[in-house]
A and B are shown apart, each in its own frame.
Chain A
Amino acid sequence: MKRSNPWLMVLFWVIISFLTLFPIYWLFVISVKPAVDLFSTPDIWLTKVYWQNYIDVLNDRTLRGYMMNSLIISSGNAVLCTTLGFLTCYALSRFNLPGKESIFFWTITNRMAPPAVFLLPMYLLLTQVYRVGDFALADTRIGMILVYCTFNLPFAIWTLRPTLDGIPRELDEAAYVDGASPLRVIVEVVFPLARPGLAVTLILTWVFAWNEYLLAATLTNFNARTLTTGLSEYVTTTGTEWGIMAAISVFTLIPALIVFSLVQRHIVTGLTFGAVKG
């Protein structure tokens, strides 16, 4: 086989990287320019860094609240979905449940309709149905955590199923014979081996909840408002604060980039885990 030219390969990846990273760079440039410069000198070169947009964002109590909401809702949702998804897949993978393939398929059908379809029912459920006295789930963090489960739990089940199926059943059996209780089998054997898949699921569900806009914009007012919806508040009748919006956008990007870089290795092994017998 003829070896392809390494320089062509390098050039190819340089172009791809440039195309991918340029919008992020541009976003950053916008976030460190004062509003007056944005339109007067719309160039993409960074000559002077103006941090005021970031300072404004960090000093804004409301935005800090949104940030906290985003963090709590996405983390709570990711942990809940991954935990429930893990237990569901354990049951689907290990027990002879009647009709389990239908159950599996039924859970993932939730992902087939566009989220907008769920808006009105969700709104009614959260404001009218799930209500105890004055307390309703609408505009609460717990409410949003549960709402995101509608979409993230099927996803978690779908991604974790091959992981659990890929762990040989004989390992469970060996552990049972070695004297482990069912709970110990999960803790000692299944959980450690499912870790790559769990990491992938945790991150992808986290990112989904962190980035979600439509449902958060409809089902929250102030108390549980998230950072993505907070962004839209800077588009006002008197004008759009591009600099602040760019700074918030950078803030929303950072956690996602951090988690991705931390678990990149797991994502690769996780997505192929169970594909071949190891």
Chain B
Amino acid sequence: MADVKIKNVIKRYGAVQVMHGVNVDIGHGEFVVLVGPSGCGKSTLLRMLAGLEEVSDGTISIGDRVVNDISPKERDIAMVFQSYALYPHKTVGENIGFPLRMAKRPKEEIDEKVRHAAGILDLTHLLDRYPKQLSGGQRQRVAMGRAIVRDPQVFLFDEPLSNLDAKLRVTMRVEIKELHQRLKTTIVYVTHDQIEAMTMADKIVVMRDGRVEQIGAPLDLYDRPGNVFVAGFIGSPSMNFLRGTIASTGGVKEFVSEAGLRLPVPPTAATEGQAVVYGIRPEHIGVGDNGTPVSVVVVEPTGSETQIFARAGTDLVNAVVKDRVRANPGQQIGFVIDPANVHLFDRQSEQRI
């Protein structure tokens, strides 16, 4: 178990700079998720941690060692790859024992540790099989077995669940989280799936275009996103954004959209006439008679909740309500918004006000 410090890390490919001074502090035993859309640099950062990519500038430390120039072999890390990267010509047992064999451990110790890891991951009955004889979930567990068997300082996971079907993904998510609670090893986990990030992380690092947009605990990011990008990325379905300005009616500030729709705002530092982006999460919109009038476009009942897409002025707004709402397209209903749940961002800088 060790802490990881990423300081001003820059990555260049030739003349192209793809990472622009990334800073992340990861504490002992923390489960940190790097999340962001494709091409945001999260996998590159993970590969730099693993020693599979060179660091162009800045430093990466694991424990109290700067590891920039240290080979992957000497970093005392273990990595689980997106494609699992199991050695197809080796059995499950040989795959799991491979890191120990490379470390020239005695055979008895390897056998014992392989059995132990297989026990934790429920793979004992599969030790003599080859990877091609296993299901996706089993392969995933073998890849994790290979990682945990050597008791590394840090685990690195590179989108480990993206090749699994939706149901299995949920199961494996729980297994990985449970494994972390049991082993308490520092984990750096890369995903583009914000649900995975929200459910598993102690701390989320949201990245875009080679920059860190925000770092924080999952619920902090959900409750107080620092900018429009994080607000839109964290949370599912995504937050609604409306563009407009702040107006004041009788001393009470309110939001006026470009189409003239008036919506309540929380007590805010935004000044009158300021151009803002108004953000409200779909699950924070209720349906009621005294709400803002909107025109229903589509209603999607999922059983546990109902998703309503409605036209508010010229904007399409999405609401998710627990009640079973029956409404026909074109029908007028009211959307009720609690100002406490509203997020305001500056239109120019897109930063939270």
Where the two chains meet, the residues of A that have a C-beta atom closer than 8 Å to any C-beta of B are 168, 170-171, 173-181, 184, 188-189, 192-193, 278
Contacts and interface: CB of A to CB of B under 8 A. Distances in A.
Specify the main secondary structure of chain A where it touches its partner: helix
B151 to A, nearest CB: 13
Contacts of B214: none
Contacts of B10: none
Contacts of B98: 175, 178, 188
B88 A278 contact: yes
A170 B103 contact: no
B99 A173 contact: no
A184 B102 contact: yes
B18 to A, nearest CB: 16
Contact of A171 (B51, B71, B79, B87): B87
Nearest to B83: A170
B58 to A, nearest CB: 21
Interface in B54-95: 71-73, 77-79, 81-83, 85, 87-89
Nearest to A179: B102
Nearest to A184: B102
B81 A174 contact: yes
B102 A180 contact: yes
24 contacts: A168-B85, A170-B83, A170-B85, A171-B85, A173-B52, A174-B146, A175-B102, A176-B51, A176-B52, A177-B51, A177-B52, A177-B78, A177-B79, A178-B98, A178-B146, A178-B150, A179-B150, A180-B73, A184-B102, A188-B98, A192-B89, A193-B88, A278-B88, A278-B132
B136 to A, nearest CB: 14
Interface in B91-121: 98-99, 102-103
Interface size class of B (residues with CB under 8 A): 20 to 34
B34 interface: no
Contacts of A173: 50, 52, 72, 79, 81, 85
Contacts of B88: 193, 278
Contacts of A174: 79, 81, 85, 87, 146
Given A171-B87, A192-B89, A193-B89, A176 B81 contact: no
Contacts of B87: 171, 174-175, 188-189
Nearest to A192: B89
Contacts of B73: 176-177, 179-181
Given A170-B81, A170-B85, A177-B79, 15 more contacts: A171-B85, A173-B79, A173-B81, A174-B87, A175-B102, A176-B71, A177-B51, A177-B77, A177-B156, A178-B78, A178-B102, A178-B146, A178-B150, A189-B87, A193-B89
A254 B316 CA distance: 79
A168 B102 contact: no
Given A170-B85, A173-B52, A189-B87, A179 B79 contact: no
A177 B83 contact: no
